[in-house]
Structure 1
Amino acid sequence: MRLTIVVGMTAGGVGMHVRSLVERLGGLGIEVGVAGPQETQDRFDFVGAGARFAPVRIGSAPNPPADLAAVLALRRAFRATDVVHAHGFRAAALSGLALGRRRDGRVPLLATWHNAVLVTGPKRVLIGQLEKLAARRADVTLGVSSDLVARARELGAADVRLAPVAAPRVQPAERDAAAVRAELGAGDRPLLLAVNRLAEQKGLDVLLAAAARWRDREPQPLVVVAGDGPLEDELNADIARDDLPVRLLGRRSDVPDLLAAADLYVLTSVWEGRPLVIQEAMQVGLAVVTTAAGGVPELVGDGAKVVPVGDVQAVADAVDTLLDDPRARAELGERGRRTAADWPDEDDNARLVADLCRDLAGH
């Protein structure tokens, strides 16, 4: 059977998840095509993983002329497909417009919701209408966290299910931890790691404010943030102005090395679904301090230290406590490793999608 996956502009977990599905679905008897922006194809190389690719410009914000062009392009991409699987509510809404209302004989639409809508004001009204359209046009909606499942159901989705997205298994570190720490300038200082897109959702203002409170520790921790994004210049200016013990590393291809070298992983996001890097940190037994953002508490259970969203003092205190007690830090890391062992993996994700596609197509 033939499946077309629709994906928008993405630089992180959504693209990694789609690439993982493409790599596995062929072996499950499904011929896969991907429709989405050329930039997303360039970053994740779906063609190299075995998919056909149709360039369709799906931006991250509503743009009526561009969205109309995307709908027309998606109609062409869907001509020879049995099922459509859209990732993200914008991709789902545009796919729903391309396919029309749910009805007998229409190509079925499976949608996975990866992110919550955080914007406010007039934009929120327009985006809320797109959310509703995405929910009502899909035959089955998968939410990566329980709050997204509840939101889709509230908006009138016909069939909504929880479907956790798995992180890839972390590859072994290629470099010695001491060498990585030396490169970063950590030496014998505690090394705190965050791997984030530098964007508002990630709450990096809270991380910087907490770092200011760690300046008086002896030895002073070093915070390193791997990733790029629109706030890079602003964050660098804040770090320089306040002389913070923080380094922005830019995009890195050696995350396993960074995880192996770090003493703690810190996530200060405003919202997350099922963040892949927390999954990777817990897989390798790295202790995690995280905000209770979106689906994070249900993901980590007691395998991480969870603090309120936006609470700088709680973040700072949790890190201080774990740095002061290496035994407690090691025990938390081991609990995280045990928790991660029970999560579904990428093969489970692919089998779920394959089974749903066959059910929807009547195969």
Structure 2
Amino acid sequence: MAETEAVREAGTEAGTEAGGKAGGGSGPAGRVPRVLLVLGTSTGGIGRHVRTIAGGLAAEGRPVAVAGPPRTDAAFGFSQVARFAAVAMSDRPRPVRDARAVARLRALAAGADVVHAHGLRAGALAALALAGRRTALVVTLHNALTAGGTVGLVYAGLERLVARRADRVLVVSPDLGERMAARGARHVAPAVVPAPPLRPAARPAAEVAAELGAGERPVLLTLARLAQQKGLETLLDAAAGPFDGPPPLFVVAGDGPLRAGLLARIDREGLPVRLLGDRTDVADLLGAAAALVVPSRWEGQPLSVQEALRAGRPVVATATGGLPGMVADAGLLVPPGDAAALRTAITRLLGDPVLAARLGAAAAARRLPDEAAAIRAVVSVYDDLTGSRS
């Protein structure tokens, strides 16, 4: 089958799975709403969250389809639990490609009762695709912009479009909710974005620490994509010291566009930092770590912090976005971009075993939402919008 024919067939099947007659509209009372989930490029949290929702809806016998770039299906296996339709969506504005994506989404959403888009770009494209239709639009915002200039202006325009068109805007942090309300969003509510259950560590902490080359030094773990939002230059500034005695070993698990620049600085300045690349043994790394360090410029509900809390690890993080509410009494918070405050908090934690034990116990005791709670939350929104009651 030619590629164009395969794409066309996938689109037809996804549209059939997501709904019946063209034109969409709210489902009649008592009928289970037909849902089309939409996402853009993702290699991490957004993709995992959409996979959770798709799998949960399918397990309940609810009609659901997923639309997004083909590589998201390869990464997250959407087609294993739902109909998947390929839609080429770039991570930045490209007028010709965006116009094609809007047309494609309009066709796919023809029979859906609810379109649930994840991320601002996907939300804006879905809003344009649904223009003139009664189909309900839900948009979950997972991230905030941390850059200014032209990018910031474009981002603000997309926010206004989503705020104006979406029936529900779900947000991962209070500041995002305030921002969207100021943009004119009619109904803003918190999103529930849980981390998958953390598998037990497979190896002893001492073995992992030895593999990392820590020696007698404590290990401080950062789980992050190597990108601008994650504030990794602040982490390197903090790692540069000074420390009383040998510095701890900072290890960063993850990859991204800033890797070469970060590595060059680490080598040039001889910093006690190791870039591990992408890892599948997060539980092992957490077991060997004295704490999770989160130097981000902004975060919503990062899965890495949820994983650290479930592992009973203290968190040293920036006080931004959804982090204060997540960390609560299980860690120490510092201002974003303040390397001296970050280093001071790390030194305080490592130098006070009683404090570290208290924060670790508070982490283990934190009650976090699970995947079932995430499914209940979105089902409630879908049913409310369509007048359905299952």
Give the TM-score, by structure 2 length. 0.88
Aligned 1:136-285 pairs, distance under 5 A:
136-213=164-241, 216-285=243-312
Aligned 1:309-320 pairs, distance under 5 A:
309-320=336-347
Could you tell me which amino acid in structure 2 is paired with residue 284 of structure 1? A
Is 269-278 or 157-166 further displaced after alignment? 157-166
Could you tell me which amino acid in structure 1 is paired with residue 176 of structure 2? L
Is 16-25 or 195-204 further displaced after alignment? 16-25
Native 8 Å contact 2:89 2:98 kept in 1: yes
Q: SS at the partner of 2:43?
A: coil
Q: SS at the partner of 2:78?
A: coil
Is 199-208 or 37-46 further displaced after alignment? 37-46
- Structure-2 separation of matches of 1:167 and 1:31: 24
Could you tell me which amino acid in structure 2 is paired with residue 346 of structure 1? E
Residue 361 of structure 1 and its aligned partner are, at CA, apart by: 2.2
The alignment status of 1:54 with 2:85, answered yes or no, reads: yes
Q: SS at the partner of 2:217?
A: coil
Native 8 Å contact 2:241 2:247 kept in 1: no
Could you tell me which amino acid in structure 1 is paired with residue 39 of structure 2? V
The alignment status of 1:76 with 2:107, answered yes or no, reads: yes
- Structure-2 separation of matches of 1:42 and 1:257: 26
Stretches of structure 1 that go unaligned for 5 or more consecutive residues are: none
In structure 2, what is the equivalent of residue 322 of structure 1? 349
In structure 1, what is the equivalent of residue 37 of structure 2? 5
In structure 2, what is the equivalent of residue 98 of structure 1? 129
Is 179-188 or 237-246 further displaced after alignment? 179-188
Could you tell me which amino acid in structure 2 is paired with residue 269 of structure 1? S
Native 8 Å contact 2:146 2:297 kept in 1: no
In structure 1, what is the equivalent of residue 116 of structure 2? 85
Residue 219 of structure 1 and its aligned partner are, at CA, apart by: 3.8
Q: SS at the partner of 1:34?
A: strand
In structure 2, what is the equivalent of residue 335 of structure 1? 362
Residue 119 of structure 1 and its aligned partner are, at CA, apart by: 2.5
In structure 1, what is the equivalent of residue 144 of structure 2? 116
| Larger RCO, structure (CA 8 Å, separation 6 or more) | 2
Deviations 1:46-89 (A, max 9, x none): 112x0111111122111111111110111121123221100011
Could you tell me which amino acid in structure 1 is paired with residue 118 of structure 2? H
Runs (4+) of structure 1 exceeding 4 A deviation are none
Q: SS at the partner of 2:79?
A: coil
Residue 217 of structure 1 and its aligned partner are, at CA, apart by: 4.2
Q: Which has the larger radius of gyration?
A: 2
- Structure-2 separation of matches of 1:67 and 1:149: 26
In structure 2, what is the equivalent of residue 348 of structure 1? 373
In structure 1, what is the equivalent of residue 17 of structure 2? none
Deviations 1:308-329 (A, max 9, x none): 1111111101111111112211
Q: SS at the partner of 1:43?
A: helix
Residue 123 of structure 1 and its aligned partner are, at CA, apart by: 2.6
In structure 2, what is the equivalent of residue 33 of structure 1? 65
Native 8 Å contact 1:9 1:40 kept in 2: yes
- Structure-1 separation of matches of 2:217 and 2:238: 17
Q: SS at the partner of 1:335?
A: helix
- Structure-2 separation of matches of 1:124 and 1:158: 23
Question: What is the percentage of aligned positions where both structures have the same residue?
Answer: 48
Give the TM-score, by structure 1 length. 0.95
Q: SS at the partner of 2:274?
A: strand
- Structure-1 separation of matches of 2:289 and 2:154: 42
Q: SS at the partner of 2:240?
A: helix
Native 8 Å contact 1:285 1:333 kept in 2: yes
- Structure-2 separation of matches of 1:263 and 1:171: 18
Residue 265 of structure 1 and its aligned partner are, at CA, apart by: 0.9
Is 247-256 or 58-67 further displaced after alignment? 58-67
- Structure-2 separation of matches of 1:310 and 1:117: 15
- Structure-1 separation of matches of 2:324 and 2:290: 21
Q: SS at the partner of 1:47?
A: helix
- Structure-2 separation of matches of 1:192 and 1:127: 34
Give the length in aligned residue pairs: 356
Native 8 Å contact 1:190 1:219 kept in 2: no
Q: SS at the partner of 2:38?
A: strand
Native 8 Å contact 1:28 1:354 kept in 2: no
Native 8 Å contact 1:145 1:164 kept in 2: no
Residue 2 of structure 1 and its aligned partner are, at CA, apart by: 2.1
Q: SS at the partner of 1:239?
A: helix
Q: SS at the partner of 2:325?
A: helix
